[in-house]
Chain A
Amino acid sequence: MFDIESQKERSLMNKAIRDFFDSRDYLEVFTPTLSPDLIPEPTIQNFETRFINEFEGSLDMYLIPSPEVFMKRLLANGFPSLYQISSCFRNSEQLGLIHNPEFSMLEYYTLGFNEIDSIALTEELLRAVKRPQTPSYALPPFITMSVSEAVKAYSGVNLDDNQEYERLKESAEKLGLYVPNGESWDDTFNRIFINFVEPALPKDKPVVLTDYPYQIDCLAEKYQDKPYRHRWEMYINGTEVANCYKEETSKEVTKTYYEKEYEKLCLQRKESGLPIPKIDPAFYELNIPSSSGVAIGLDRLLMCITGKAEITPLLLFPLSDMIQNGL
């Protein structure tokens, strides 16, 4: 059944987003969804396809899991603050409820901002897209707390005292969790997070969790004086909706990230037989200016501002339906 109302709502939301950024002098950009290389992210599975050309040579290409790989190249080439609404693709995720392999993503980068500035900007954005029917759980003000505060409050584990792996494993086991030998710090942390923290987060207002552990490797800058990163995630009504970094600018750190994560990715994908995307070494030679980038899943945001419990009714052609019933 096609839901015309939710299409109107989506159109209004996208217009409100464009008005919001245009009035603040952000440049809207339109970058490809097919890319010959990706940023290595071992936990995100990719869609692979092939460009066939007998004159120029054929080439494996990938559907982007996020437009970051292009938008950062633009920032490094002198573009102003940017935003984009694009289709993104993640493979191997569960269908239905809050996942569809093809989804709509809003990504915005603000020059000179840190991740805390992005919280205020995102609060204003949520005010700009709100609708008369938007439930109060999707409206500012946000509840902001650090990951370590949340972990302490909901599991009793003090992350500052659990930086050594053996300590963290012990803490997880004391909570009754099973931890196999040889697991990494971030995997054991996620066991605690998924079991105790995520389900307990407040649901009456959007929650912004700041300062993620540095052990979860990503291109968010690491703090000089504490074992965390300049990164936050936003949860609305228990669903993860946004992710934000103060972007890494050091070529050396980016190169180390690329090499380490790509090695991990190749190892995992060889075992699972899933596509191994290419990476481009020129990416870590880019002069990326200081900025903060936010990515928001727009199907989930629309679900929240219209007070729905899942994204499937908001999609005209959810993949789960196409698989089950055909078009």
Chain B
Amino acid sequence: MIKAGQIDKGTALLIKGQPFVCIDREFVNPGKGSAFVRLKLKSPSTGQVLAETMKSQDNAEDITVEDKDLQYLYNDGTNFAFMNVESFDQIEVPMASFPDYEYFMKEGETYRATFWEDQVLDIIIPAKIVFTVAEAEEAVKGDTVQGATKYVTTETGLKVRVPIFIKQGEKIRVNTETKEYLERVNK
């Protein structure tokens, strides 16, 4: 058991027998009242997002989770396929539970995943990832305006706004949270 006030982003809970992961929390103090916490909880199996408001002293059922490293193999449009790097078991995770994650899944790359029993509750995307530019528009000749940008598409299909000097085949580092270009990688 855990007090609702101690639930943080990433805390895994059991709600009516189903696992949920806290994706957002906000404290609210009604004027002259006890502290409450507004939680946004996501079901990893269905992607359903639940809003729960609890008094910070209320009890919630937390569950013990375990982190494991998974190597990304491919997706078939419905599931992501990973390999557990320790046991070499192959694991399938429904893509619908992790919307937009396909843009950050690089073949052969290792990702840390949170498990509850056999179920993947969360996949952690590194804050910065290096991508290869798969498609880039040619820079328009004479376009020398400072700070001019264009869009490129990475090998994972992510569209990123970059400075005009970036060419197809080059590597770029991207902030995965804001999907913003950070720098060109020369290695």
Residues of A within 8 A of B (CB): 41, 43, 92-94, 97, 99, 178, 180, 186-187, 190-191, 193-195, 198, 212, 216-218, 233, 240, 243
B66 contacts A by Cβ under 8 Å: no
Residue of A nearest to B58 (CB): A180
B78 contacts A by Cβ under 8 Å: no
- Are A43 and B35 neighbours in the complex by a CB distance under 8 Å? yes
- With contacts A178-B58, A180-B58, A187-B55 taken as known, whether A194 is within 8 angstroms of B32 at the C-beta atoms is no
Task: Tell me how far the C-beta of B76 lies from the nearest C-beta in chain A, rounded to whole angstroms.
Answer: 39
Report B-chain residues with C-beta under 8 Å of the C-beta of A99.
Answer: 27
Tell me, in angstroms, the Cα distance from A195 to B38 when the chains sit together: 9
Residue of A nearest to B5 (CB): A92
- With contacts A93-B27, A194-B53, A195-B53 taken as known, whether A187 is within 8 angstroms of B34 at the C-beta atoms is yes
- Are A43 and B27 neighbours in the complex by a CB distance under 8 Å? no
- Are B32 and A43 neighbours in the complex by a CB distance under 8 Å? yes
- Are B26 and A216 neighbours in the complex by a CB distance under 8 Å? no
Report 30 cross-chain contacts, Cβ distance below 8 Å, ordered by A residue: A43-B29, A43-B33, A43-B34, A93-B27, A93-B29, A94-B26, A94-B27, A97-B26, A99-B27, A186-B33, A187-B34, A187-B55, A190-B30, A190-B36, A190-B55, A191-B36, A191-B55, A193-B30, A193-B33, A194-B28, A194-B36, A212-B31, A212-B32, A216-B32, A216-B33, A217-B32, A233-B31, A240-B30, A240-B31, A243-B31
Report B-chain residues with C-beta under 8 Å of the C-beta of A93.
Answer: 27, 29
- Are B30 and A194 neighbours in the complex by a CB distance under 8 Å? yes
Tell me, in angstroms, the Cα distance from A94 to B27 when the chains sit together: 6
The B15-40 residues at the A interface (CB cut-off 8 A) are 26-36, 38
Report B-chain residues with C-beta under 8 Å of the C-beta of A193.
Answer: 30, 33
Secondary structure class of chain A's binding surface, majority of residues: mixed
How many B residues touch A, CB cutoff 8 Å?
Answer: 16
- Are B32 and A198 neighbours in the complex by a CB distance under 8 Å? no
Residues of B within 8 A of A (CB): 26-36, 38, 53-55, 58
Report B-chain residues with C-beta under 8 Å of the C-beta of A195.
Answer: 53
Residue of A nearest to B37 (CB): A94
**Which of A92, A97, A180, A190 is in CB contact (< 8 Å) with B33?**
A190
Report A-chain residues with C-beta under 8 Å of the C-beta of B58.
Answer: 178, 180
Tell me, in angstroms, the Cα distance from A94 to B38 when the chains sit together: 12
Tell me, in angstroms, the Cα distance from A19 to B53 when the chains sit together: 42
Report B-chain residues with C-beta under 8 Å of the C-beta of A194.
Answer: 28, 30, 36, 38, 53
- Are B55 and A41 neighbours in the complex by a CB distance under 8 Å? no
Tell me, in angstroms, the Cα distance from A92 to B27 when the chains sit together: 10
Residue of B nearest to A95 (CB): B27
Task: Tell me how far the C-beta of B24 lies from the nearest C-beta in chain A, rounded to whole angstroms.
Answer: 11
**Which of B30, B35, B54, B55 is in CB contact (< 8 Å) with A198?**
B30
Tell me, in angstroms, the Cα distance from A193 to B29 when the chains sit together: 11
- Besides A41-B32, A240-B30, 15 new A-B residue pairs in contact (Cβ under 8 A), listed by A number: A43-B29, A93-B27, A99-B27, A178-B54, A191-B53, A193-B30, A194-B28, A194-B30, A194-B38, A198-B28, A198-B30, A212-B31, A216-B32, A218-B32, A240-B31
Report B-chain residues with C-beta under 8 Å of the C-beta of A187.
Answer: 33-34, 55
Task: Tell me how far the C-beta of B4 lies from the nearest C-beta in chain A, rounded to whole angstroms.
Answer: 11
Report A-chain residues with C-beta under 8 Å of the C-beta of B54.
Answer: 178
Interface centre among A43, A99, A186, A216, by most chain B C-beta atoms within 10 angstroms, is A43
Tell me, in angstroms, the Cα distance from A233 to B53 when the chains sit together: 21
Residue of B nearest to A177 (CB): B53
Report A-chain residues with C-beta under 8 Å of the C-beta of B53.
Answer: 191, 194-195
Report B-chain residues with C-beta under 8 Å of the C-beta of A233.
Answer: 31
Tell me, in angstroms, the Cα distance from A94 to B29 when the chains sit together: 10
Task: Tell me how far the C-beta of A267 lies from the nearest C-beta in chain B, rounded to whole angstroms.
Answer: 13
Report B-chain residues with C-beta under 8 Å of the C-beta of A218.
Answer: 32
Report A-chain residues with C-beta under 8 Å of the C-beta of B33.
Answer: 43, 186-187, 190, 193, 216
